[in-house]
Structure 1
C-alpha cells in the first residue's frame, strides 16, 4: 500500500506549479465537438472546456490535481487527488459540476477508512468508484479492494498487508469489471468480474474497454500487445510494433496506442501526427477525429499538449501544470 501512496504523492508532487505565461492556445483547429481536458493549473485541480480553464475547489488541500474527466447527461464529473496532512497521505477527491466532495470523508466508515480511489465510471446517473480501504483499529495492515455505486460499498477482495496495483473499473450491463492482481502484487495480471477473479497468466493488464455489449481487458503478454474479449474469452496478440497496449477506445472500430505518439485503428496506423510532441497519455476518437494528450520532455521537466486532428490546440509546461485526461462530446 505504501507504494500506492508514494506513486500518487510523486505524481502530485511533480505537478506543483508556479505562475508564468506558458499556457498556449491555438485557435486554428476547429471542430464540431466540445473538448474537456482534466489536469492541474497553478497548483490546483482544473479542467478545460474548449481551451477555457475551470479551476476546481481545493477543499482546503494543497497540490490538488484532476486525473479523469467524464461528461454524461450534460454533467461534468471529475476525479482527482490532493495532499493530506502528512507527506504520505493523499486525499481522493470528486467534483460534479464543480461541487467538491472529499471521498475519504464521504466513503469511509468507523470500521474501514478509504485510503485511495483509483478510477471512476459513470453509467447513466450512477457513479462508480474503485479503490482501497484499510481497517484503522488494528495494529497490522489490512487492506481491501472495493468499489462503490452511488456511495454503497461492495468489497471485492481482502488482500491483507500489501497492495501495490492501481485498479481500473468498467461497468457493462450491470456487470462490474475491475483490473487487479490475485495476490496484491504490483503486476496486474487479471480482472475481477462481479468480484470473481479471472487470471491472465504472464500478462500485464493496463485497462478495460467496452464496445456495445462486449468488455475487453488489454495490456501486454509475452512482450506484445494483447487483449481479451471477456464475454467470448477470445484472446488476441498483435504484431510489432504494437508491443503493448496502454489505452484502448471504441468508436465503432477499435482504436489503441502503445504509449508512443501513434493511434492505431484496427491495428493499422490511424494518427501519428506531431511525433515531436511526445507519447500519448490519453486519447479519444469522435466523428473519426483524433483527440490526444501527449507529454514531451522539456529540459528537466516536460510539457503537455492537446492535439486535435493533428493540430496542437493548447499546451502547458510542467512549471504551470499538466494535462491528464480528455473527453469529447459531439455537438
Structure 2
C-alpha cells in the first residue's frame, strides 16, 4: 500500500458506522475530508528492529534483538529510537537511534564515558535538530553532592539542568520556538522528591504530582500531562491553567501520554502501552472496534485517529494498527524468553502529504 487514500477510507467508514457503533461509543466519528497520509509504524519482526511505511517494511541496520521505542518523521527524515530492553510495553531507556536507517549508539553520540550510570529517556526532533534528555553520572564529581547530572543534549551538545547526590529522571523533551522544555523528577540532597518541568534551565514545580509525563502543543498553548490523586491532569503552561482530564485507573500508572490534533486543538490522553481507553479532552472513550484490549500508541491528525492495539496471551503477541477503527495492519509473534516477543508494533507517526 503506497499511500492511504483516505477519501476511500471514509467511504468505508460511513458504511461501517451505519451498521455499528463500534468505532467509539462516546465520540462523534465525523472526519474531515482527508488528503493522502503516510503512516509509519516502528516495531520488530523476527526479533529484528524495523519500521513500516504504509505497510512496506524496512529492516533497521544492525537491529537484531533490539526494541524500537519511538518513531518520528520530519522533512522526509525518519528517526527511530531503540533499546536493549525486552518488554515491548514499558521499556523506555534509549541506547540507540537511527536517522534514515543509519544507526548510532547513544553513549557515543552524547560523549558519555564508559562505566558510568546513565539513563536517556526523552527524545525530540525540531527543524533537523536532535534532542535527548536524561541523567548521567559524573565520573569525577567535585563532591558526592554533584554525582548525578540531569541534562538535555542538542545535536550531542550537553546542557546541564541540575546536579545532585541522588538520581533524577527526565520524561519528555519538547521544543517550543527557541525554548527547550524537559519534564522531570528531581531530588534534592535531603532526598526530597519533586516533579515538574524545566524551561531551558529554569525549574518549575508542579507541586509534586505522583508522576509527570510529556508535552503536547496546540493553538491554545503548551500542555504538560501529570497524574495526582489517581487522576490525569494537564497544565497549560502558556496560560498557567490546570485541567482535570479524568480518573486514572491503571494499576501501574507510569506511562501516560498526551497528544494534540493540530487541526482541531483537541487533546488526547492515554495510558501509553497498557491502557484500554483514552480521553478526548476530558471525555473518556472506550474503543470497541477491536477485541484487542490494550492501546500501545495513539496519533491524531486532522481528526483522524491512528491507533496500535495489542494483546498478549498464551505466549502469543497479537498487534494491529487501526485508522478510524478500521484495521490496516497486523502482526503475530511468539515469546522468545520471559516477555520477549519476536514481533511487535511499538510506535506510530503520521505525515500528511
- Sort the TM-score into its range (normalised by shorter chain): 0.7 to 0.9
Q: Identify the residue that residue 78 of structure 1 maps to in structure 2.
A: 80
1:322 aligns with 2:322: no
Partners of 2:56 and 2:215 in 1: how far apart?
A: 30
Partners of 1:188 and 1:44 in 2: how far apart?
A: 38
Q: Identify the residue that residue 65 of structure 1 maps to in structure 2.
A: 67
After TM superposition, give the deviation of residue 226 of structure 1 in Å.
0.5
After TM superposition, give the deviation of residue 271 of structure 1 in Å.
6.9
Q: With structure 1 as the length reference, what TM-score do the two structures score?
A: 0.78
Q: Identify the residue that residue 235 of structure 1 maps to in structure 2.
A: 242
Partners of 2:287 and 2:192 in 1: how far apart?
A: 31
1:38 aligns with 2:60: no
2:327 match: secondary structure: strand
- Kept in 1, the 8 Å contact 2:124–2:173? The answer is yes
Partners of 2:246 and 2:166 in 1: how far apart?
A: 39
5+ residue gaps in structure 1?
1-26, 84-89
Residues 206 and 57 of structure 1, relative CA distance in 2, 3 Å threshold:
same
Residues 308 and 186 of structure 1, relative CA distance in 2, 3 Å threshold:
farther
5+ residue gaps in structure 2?
10-35, 86-92, 335-341
Mean Cα deviation higher: 49-58 or 294-303: 294-303
Partners of 2:125 and 2:94 in 1: how far apart?
A: 21
1:274 match: secondary structure: coil
After TM superposition, give the deviation of residue 202 of structure 1 in Å.
4.4
Partners of 1:240 and 1:91 in 2: how far apart?
A: 30
**RMSD over equivalenced CA pairs, Å:** 3.2
Partners of 1:326 and 1:187 in 2: how far apart?
A: 33
1:206 aligns with 2:222: no
After TM superposition, give the deviation of residue 98 of structure 1 in Å.
0.8
Q: Identify the residue that residue 159 of structure 2 maps to in structure 1.
A: 154
Deviations 1:230-273 (A, max 9, x none): 12211111345888892221112223234334343333356724
Q: With structure 2 as the length reference, what TM-score do the two structures score?
A: 0.74
1:290 aligns with 2:302: no
Deviations 1:48-107 (A, max 9, x none): 111121111127xx5212111111111111111237xxxxxx871111111111121121
Equivalenced residues, count: 296
1:55 aligns with 2:77: no
- Kept in 1, the 8 Å contact 2:269–2:281? The answer is no
Larger Rg: 1 or 2?
A: 2
1:257 match: secondary structure: strand
Partners of 1:283 and 1:114 in 2: how far apart?
A: 32
Mean Cα deviation higher: 178-187 or 307-316: 178-187
2:108 match: secondary structure: helix
Q: Identify the residue that residue 175 of structure 2 maps to in structure 1.
A: 171
